[in-house]
Amino acid sequence: MGGWTIGIIGGSGLYDVEGIEDGRWVEVETPWGAPSDAIFTGRIGHVGVAFLPRHGRGHRLSPGELNARANIDALKRLGVTDVLAVSSVGSLAETRAPGTFTIVDQFIDRTQGRVSSFFGSGMVAHVSMADPVCSRLSSIAADAAEAAGAAVHRGGTYLAMEGPQFSTRAESNLYRQWGCDVIGMTAIPEAKLAREAELPYALVGMVTDYDCWREDEAAVDVAAVIRQLSANAAKARAMVVHLLRSLPAERPPSPIDTCLDAALITAPSARDPAVIAKLDAVAGRVLKPASSPRT
């Protein structure tokens, strides 16, 4: 066992974390390119913190432009043990009103063309995504959100859309028929990549609007979203601090810590050393560079 270092990926409405001690911005280089921004590192009590603004400071990056591989790799390089993602979402259910928080536990992926894996030709792996979030971290996040005064729904299916446009009414109603609860643009491939990097992942969705399925009211627009973002932000920051201060000094191991043990399929003799080198942070625990043949 060891201590916690929580990677916090802040989406729309969460651009900083208050109360971080010994904080400093750290630039991290990755084999996958540049992450969204520098990462603000420090601690709160006995817990290490690494905060990454998902869209960059000033919200510079569109959802489809995010380099999710670089973001997850950078957090792993900094020694992050678990990832708490915070995102603004639209509601697809009457009971999930703007201002409420949903602790997501399932995803449906409707994104298009995003790179969703660290693995591929030269090193193939297949991780399980049956249960795509960490139930332990999700429960802790739900408790922290309630302690911060938020109305919380524990569990919910997140529809990941491509964006950056919002849904059509036909799409919004289709996703409701599928049983989806909230909709957003950024959690995929982030959650998939976190799993490949053996990082337990939890997602808190802060509801800003009812998407566009309600026929008797105006469709969602950015102005309405921004108004609700401001209302959600204080609770989101308080939730993060509650979560960090509630963690025990020792971090119990998680099954996700070793999920690559049953995921690698490429034979050691067929592994590409160049690919293995790129995987040094996310999969270095289970991969070793192939030995050079003797001459």
Active-site amino acid positions:
209, 211
Radius of gyration (C-alpha) of the chain in whole angstroms = 19
Residues 6+ apart with CB under 8 A from 295: none
C-alpha to C-alpha distance for 148 and 125, rounded to whole angstroms: 39
CA 64 to chain centre: 15
Is the separation of the CB atoms in 265 and 125 below 8 Å? Answer: yes
C-alpha to C-alpha distance for 259 and 263, rounded to whole angstroms: 7
| Phi, psi values for residue 63, rounded to 5° | -50, -45
* Residue 160, helix vs strand vs coil: strand
C-alpha to C-alpha distance for 293 and 289, rounded to whole angstroms: 12
Instruction: Report the run of H or E that residue 75 belongs to, with start and end.
Output: helix 68-77
Phi-psi region of 125 (alpha: psi -120 to 50; beta: other; left: phi over 0): beta
Q: How many CB atoms within 10 Å of residue 184?
A: 24
